[in-house]
């Protein structure tokens, strides 16, 4: 049972480049999430997917898009990266949207030059 996996672990982009962060979970969870973590700001929700086939904006969605590919996989895309998107990105999943704990992946450390 791998839990939540993310690829890549590290990435360096130049301003304006695009990339997709991949996330998969093997816990048969319905809900999945993308967060970013910046020093002193805590974890902030970018997008979430309550269940397969649905996605919704979180607290800081600008500059990002997501795809819930199937029940297991939830990807995050940066279409035109900006230095302000330099951060650590975490994917998480939970059994249901409300009332259940979220389990996090190991993170992707992204630097945009």
Partner 1 sequence: EDQVTQSPEALRLQEGESSSLNCSYTVSGLRGLFWYRQDPGKGPEFLFTLYSAGEEKEKERLKATLTKKESFLHITAPKPEDSATYLCAVQASGSWGKLQFGAGTQVVVTP
Give residues in contact with partner 1 (CB under 8 A).
4, 31, 40-45, 48, 50, 56, 58-59, 90, 92, 94, 96-99, 101-107
Q: Judged by CB, which is closer to partner 1: 17, or 95?
A: 95
Q: 53 in helix, strand or coil?
A: coil
Contact 43, 37 (CB under 8 A): yes
Q: Judged by CB, which is closer to partner 1: 63, or 103?
A: 103
- What is the nearest approach in angstroms of partner 1 to the Cβ of residue 16? 28
Contact 60, 38 (CB under 8 A): no
- What is the nearest approach in angstroms of partner 1 to the Cβ of residue 19? 19
- How far apart are alpha carbons 14 and 1 in whole angstroms? 35
């Amino acid at each position: 049972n791998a839990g939540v996996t993310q690829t890549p672990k590290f990435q360096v982009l130049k301003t304006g480049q695009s990339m997709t962060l991949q996330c998969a979970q093997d816990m048969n969870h319905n809900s999945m999430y993308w967060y970013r973590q910046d020093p002193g700001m805590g974890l902030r929700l970018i997008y979430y997917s309550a269940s397969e086939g649905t996605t919704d904006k979180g607290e800081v969605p600008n500059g990002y898009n997501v795809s819930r590919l199937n029940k297991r996989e939830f990807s995050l895309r940066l279409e035109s990266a900006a230095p302000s998107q330099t951060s650590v990105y975490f994917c998480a999943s939970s059994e249901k949207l409300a009332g259940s704990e979220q389990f996090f992946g190991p993170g992707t450390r992204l630097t945009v030059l």
